[in-house]
Amino acid sequence: MFGGDASRSLLDAAELSVHRPCFAQRRSEEVLLDFLGLAHRYGLQPLEDSTSEFLRTVLHTQNVCLVFDVASLYGLSTLSAACCSYMDRHAPDVLSSEGFLMLSKTALLTVVTRDSFAASEKEIFLALSRWSRHHGEGPETQEVMSSVRLPLMTLTEMLNVVRPSGLVSPDDLLDAIKTRSESRNMDLNYRGMLIPEENIATMKFGAQVVKGELKSALLDGDTQNYDLDHGFSRHPIEEDGRAGIQVKLGQPSIVNHIRLLLWDRDSRSYSYYIEVSMDELDWVRVVDHSKFLCRSWQNLFFTPRVCRYVRIVGTHNTVNKVFHLVAFECMFTSRSYTLDNGLLVPSENVATVAACASVVEGVSRSRNALLNGDTRNYDWDSGYTCHQLGSGAIVIQLAQPFSISSMRLLLWDCDERSYSYYIEVSTNQQQWTKVVDRTRTACRSWQTLKFDRHPASFIRIVGTHNTANEVFHCVHFECPAQVDSDAVEESPGSNPGSNPNPDPSDPASQSRPQRPNRSLNQMPSLPSSSSHH
C-alpha cells in the first residue's frame, strides 16, 4: 500500500506535529498511534518499527498509559516493555495521571500486578478506587481491587482508608490483617524498584553505609587504591554475629546479584554471609559462605529479593579477627545463572587470574603459569607447574566456592612420557573429597574430566607416577572444562601435539604445533630457578 519513502514521510510529519505547542501534543500523539494502527493492520513493518521506536523516546507520565494500551492491543512487546519500565520508575506520577483512568482492565492489571511497580500500596489502592468509579463499579471492580496487596498496608491504612471505601469485603480485610500479623516481614510480597544491570549501591541512587568502621570507603567506586591502612571498610569478627557492615539502599529494590571485593593485598582468605531486610528486624540470608574460604572478588547470585537493607557479616579471617571489605555492588541482572545448594554453577572457566584464582602450592618459573591460558608456549624449561612425586601437590584456590562437575588439564607432552594422578576438592583446605582417580591409568597431554557435582574452593592435583622421572608436570588447568576449546585430548602412543584420529575439517586437529623430539636425558624436572607457592 505504502512504499518505504511514504512510510518515512508519514513518520516525519508525525514527529513534527509532536514538537508543536503542548495544547496540540495530545492530538499529535493520537495521530502517531493512528499511524501505528494502520502500519500494524496493513503489515507495514518499517513504519510500525520506526513509529514504535520514536514513541519510546517521547514517553512521559501523561501519555505512557495510552501508548501502553495500544502497544498491548497490537502485541508490540518491545514498546510494551519500554512503557512498563517507564511506569515502574515513575509509578506515583503515573497513578495520579488522567491516562491511568483510561487504561483497559487488561492493561491496568498488567501494570499494577508487577513486583517492580514501585508505589506504596495506599497509592495503588486509591488509584484503583478512582479507576473503578470512573468505569462504573461492577463485576470488574472486585478483580481489579484484588490486585492490591493489602497485607503491605499498615493497620491504620486498612481501617481508615480501605474499610470506608466499601470496595473490599470485610472477610478479605480480616484475612489481610491476619496475614500481616502472622507472617514474617520478609515473607510479604513486597514491591521494589527494578533497575537492571546497574549498581544501585551508589550515592547516585541514595545508598549509604549505616553500620561498620571506615564507612566512606565502601561505596566510593575505587577498587584500585587500597592498602593496609586505607581504602576499605571493616568490622571486628565476633562469634555472636552482631557486628557487620550494613548498607541502606536508596529505596526498596529488587536485587539478585551482589559483588564484593575482599581485601586481597596478601594471601589471606575470609568467610562471611550476607542477609537482606526491609525493616532491619527480619533478616533473610541470601548468601552463606561462612563455612568456605574466599578471597578477592566475589560474584554472588541468588533468587530475586525485594530489600532496603543489606548486611555483610564476616565470620573468619585466616590472619586476624577483622573482616575487611573494599567494595560492594548490588544490582538486578537478567543474565542466566544456575545455583546448586546456593553455590554458583559456572559455565565459564573460573580458574583464571582474571577470575582471581591462584596457585597456592606447586613449583614453576612464573607465578600462576598454570592459569594464564597459554597452552602453546611451553618447553623443557618453562611453561609448566610441577611437584615432586610422593611430596606435595599442585593446589589451586578459586576466588569463591563453586559447584563444579568437570575440569581439564594439559599434562606436559613434549615427549612420549605418561603420568598417573588423582584430584581432590575442598572448601576449606581441611576436608578433601577425591573426584578423579587416574592412579592406575597411563595418561598424557589433554585430560577432560567429568564427575558428579561437588562444592569446591580448592583443587588439589596429586601426581603418582611419571614414566620418565620423579616429577609431575602440568601445563594448564581449567574448571569447568571448556568444551569449545581447540585442544585435543591425547592417549599414550599418539604423536605429541596431534590427534590420534584427526578430522581434516576440524581446525582443532591442525592447531597444535609439532613438538621437537628430545632424548630422555633432557627431560624436565623441578625448575632450578622457580616460584614456590
Q: pLDDT tens across 311-351, in order? A: 999 999 999 999 999 999 999 999 999 999 999 999 999 99
CA distance 173 to 163: 8
**Whether the Cβ atoms of residue 111 and residue 84 lie closer than 8 Å to each other:** yes
Pinpoint the alpha helices (H) of 75-226. 77-89, 91-95, 98-102, 105-112, 121-135, 139-145, 155-157, 163-165, 170-182
Closest CA to 418 of 380, 382, 459, 472: 472
Whether 106 has a pLDDT exceeding 60, the answer reads yes
pLDDT at position 524: 67
CA distance 268 to 317: 7
- Which cell goes with 533? 607457592
* Ranges 52-56, 245-249, 341-345, 477-481: which has the least confidence: 52-56
Whether 506 has a pLDDT exceeding 80, the answer reads no
Q: Give the pLDDT confidence of 36-67 residue by residue, as tens digits.
A: 877 777 777 777 788 888 888 889 999 999 99
CA distance 120 to 138: 25
Which pTM was predicted? 0.85
Q: 22 to each of 16, 83, 228, 435, 463, how far by Cα in Å?
A: 13, 21, 59, 70, 78
Q: pLDDT: is 202 or 54 the higher one?
A: 202
Local structure of 131: helix, strand or coil: helix
Q: 90 to each of 64, 117, 162, 525, how far by Cα in Å?
A: 10, 9, 24, 67
Question: What angle, 0 to 180 degrees and rounded to 10, lies between the N-to-C axes of helices 64-74 and 77-89?
Answer: 150
Residue 146: half-sphere exposure toward Cβ, Cα within 13 Å: 7
- Which position has the grid cell 512503557? 83
CA distance 477 to 242: 40
DSSP 8-state assignment for residue 154: -
